[in-house]
Structure formats: C-alpha cells, structure tokens
A = this chain, B = another copy of it.
Amino acid sequence: MERDLVDWLQKTLPPHPLLRVGLGDDAAVLSLRQTADLVVTTDSLGDGSHFLLNEAEPRWIGHKCLAANLSDLAAMAAKPVAVVVSVMLPRGHADPLALAKGLYRGMLPLAEQFETIIAGGDTNVWDGPLTVSVTAFGQPTDRGALLRSNARAGDAILVTGELGGSITGRHLDFTPRVAEALLLHQRYDLHAGMDITDGLSLDLSRLCAASGRGALLDAAAIPVSPAAQQLAAADGTDPLHHALSDGEDFELLLTAPRETAEAMLRESPVECGLSIVGEVTARPGMEIREADGHTTTLEPTGFWHG
C-alpha cells in the first residue's frame, strides 16, 4: 500500500527548486536559502476528534489537516516553505489507498496556493482510527516571527474575519490566513499574534498569559458569523457565546498600538475583514463590556482538544 501511494505521490507532487531529495529516501532534503530562523509547527488530527471520516470527504479532511498547520505558520507571520505528512490509515477501511490519495488531493491545491513543498511522509495501516499528522516549516520575514508574548497594555485587539459556528462547515474548508498575516505584519507595527483555534476567549487568555497582560473585550464589536447566528437561533443560545467559544475559526488574533489598529481598519488591506474587538490591559485577567455598558469578568471557555 505505502509503495503504491509513494509511486502515486512521486508522479503527482510537483517538483520544487528547494526540494533536493523528495519522497523515496529515508528523509527529505530541503535546500534552504541563506536562512536565519526556521519556524516549525506540528498538529495531529484524528477521526472522531477533528473530523468525521464517515461524514467528510477525504480531500476536505486532507485540506483541513494542512490548513490547520499553515494557520499556525500564519499565526507567526511566517512564509510556508514545506510540510511533511504522516498518515495512519484504519485497517478496516474499504480502500485505504483511495483514502490516502483523497487526503493528498485535498492538500495539493492548498500546498500549491501557498508555494509549499510536500516534502515527505510516512504512511501506515493500523487498527486505530484515521490520524493525520502534519509538520510545517516556514521562514519569518525580515520583521521576525510574530509572537504571542509581545502584547502591550493599551494595544488594540484585532481579529480577522468572523467568529463562531465553524462546525457547520468552515472548520473543514477554511483558507488559512497566511497571505493576510504576511501582509499585515509587513505593513503595520503588529505587537503580538496567534490564530484562533480554540475560541476567542480561550486563545486570547493564552495570548494575555504569554504577554503577562489582561484584556477588555467589547461585546458589540466582536464579529459574529452568520453560522454562529444560525446555530444560536437553532439552539436558543447567545450568538456571542458561539463567537467567543466555538473554536476552529482559524482567524488571526492580533494586537497593535491603537493608532496602528485604526489605520488598519481605515485602509482595510485584507478582503476577509478586520475588527477591533477590545484592548490589552496592564492588569491580568479578562473582562468583557456588554452591549448595555456593564463590564463583567470573562472566563476563558472554548473548545479544548485535551
């Protein structure tokens, strides 16, 4: 099976000038240009936790597994260079080879879009459920990697796009905010950043903890997605709660000086949209200013794989 897949991949994967040795040896060899820093991230996704193999097409599962890792490179404002992919296929599957090809068919267009080498991989058949583990490498720009730990009191807190309700589909078919992160980090003086994978409130609490700061969110300013509105209408909950806690938004969470953030909104340089949703505070802990003007403590709640 692995041999057949490697044969197929060797025919299917496009060549790349930086890929000196690709699939078929013990490891891949990448030829990096004069490089200072290399950004590396890894994420494993499993059937039943991050996707449902009996509901989602393999190519969307593959797309998600690659996109989630590229989103972590975007979170660092790093330009993707390459990924390696490790797949464990369920032995009971009717056609493991077709499943594996389907996963790669979902990854290939995304890799091409972001000029990312699929440099190698490992494929096993086992008695457990499908897992896909991707490791992605990128290179920061001249401005360096965008970290979580550099938010400053008084910074505006920004998010790209709209939040909540990704379970209705977006968690599978999203485009990682790689281009947006590179553009924004290049053009503006961003202080801190990460991607929103586990819900705005939980991820913001992590950014605050890494920076030794707190946050005051403005409820009315949080961009609630139509999907979150629909979910809330269906289950009688608050759409804002979905936007704060659903997770798998794969949007960017950024901080920047107030005047920079206002320039970003004015100039509107990214199609996905940008919102100022609050402010970094000197005092740790999170609060939210409700629509009625009341400010209450915000507990980090979110979707936590673990």
A167 at interface (Cβ–Cβ under 8 A)?
no
Tell me which residues across on chain B come within 8 A of A47, comparing CB atoms.
128
Q: Are B148 and A49 neighbours in the complex by a CB distance under 8 Å?
A: no
Tell me which residues across on chain B come within 8 A of A260, comparing CB atoms.
none
Q: Pick the contact of A40 from B27, B123, B131 — CB < 8 Å?
A: B27
Q: Are B124 and A72 neighbours in the complex by a CB distance under 8 Å?
A: no
Tell me which residues across on chain B come within 8 A of A72, comparing CB atoms.
26-27
Q: Which residues of A (115-141) have their CB < 8 Å from a CB of B? A: 119-129, 131, 133, 135-138, 140
Interface string of A25-60 (1 = CB under 8 A from B): 111111110111111111110111100000000000
A236 at interface (Cβ–Cβ under 8 A)?
no
Q: Pick the contact of A126 from B49, B123, B210 — CB < 8 Å?
A: B49
Each complex incorporates copies of this chain amounting to 2
Total contacting residues, chain A, CB less than 8 A: 67
A20 at interface (Cβ–Cβ under 8 A)?
yes
Given contacts A26-B194, A140-B29, A147-B21, contact A41 B128 (CB under 8 A): no
Given contacts A27-B72, A86-B133, contact A126 B46 (CB under 8 A): yes
A238 at interface (Cβ–Cβ under 8 A)?
no
Most buried by B among A26, A44, A125: A26
